[in-house]
Amino acid sequence: MTEPISIPHLLHRLEGRETVEFKAILPELTSLTPVQAKVQVTHKDSYLEIIGVAETIVTLTCDRCLAQYNHRLSIDTTEMLWFTEGGEEGKAEIPFEEDLELDDMVETVSKNGLFDPSEWVYQQLCLEMPYKNVCGDACEGIPKVSPENAQPEGDRRWAALEALKGQLPS
Ligand SMILES: [Zn+2]
């Protein structure tokens, strides 16, 4: 696991940059293999630039057939974290033009704070989690139940129809 990086200390580094690599099981992420990651953090004037690649394999449950399957999760992301003066959120020093473009998608970080590469990687991997879990193109879903078993027991409408049918003259 990596140590959080002190953002002010980055200024003492060559080009304000630090690169960390790690291979670890992230406690919050249930992955089959350790997360292998490389994160480059650069101190720009008004923001922190993060360039990260990471990869792992997670076990997911198929939404259709409920079988478990392995899914390769990977990121190759560049993100800008705009500096805020203190610890407060939402007071980023964003130039006007970029403000329009970035809208409310802006992520901020305190310029005197810490940046935690493993936490960042974890968050990025979570964003990459598929919205819908399907084990594969060939998934046929849950095996079909035969029609007599499929009739829901408590379907009142059906029962009402049956009752009505009995009352009709044949
Ligand atoms: Zn499936």
| Number of helical H runs and strand E runs in the chain | 5, 7
pLDDT of residue 27: 86
Asked if residues 117 and 26 have their Cβ atoms less than 8 Å apart, the reply is no
Measured in angstroms, how far is the CA atom of residue 114 from the centroid of ligand 1?
Answer: 42
Q: How far is CA 40 from the centre of its chain?
A: 20
3-state helix, strand, coil in the chain (%, to 5): 25, 35, 40
pLDDT of residue 30: 85
Measured in angstroms, how far is the CA atom of residue 61 from the centroid of ligand 1?
Answer: 8
- Residue 63's pLDDT band (boundaries 50, 70, 90)? very high
Domain count, the chain: 1
Measured in angstroms, how far is the CA atom of residue 60 from the centroid of ligand 1?
Answer: 10
- Model's pTM, two decimal places? 0.72
Percent of the chain with pLDDT over 70: 75
pLDDT of residue 151: 54
Domain that holds residue 68: 5-167
Q: Is the pLDDT of residue 139 over 70?
A: yes
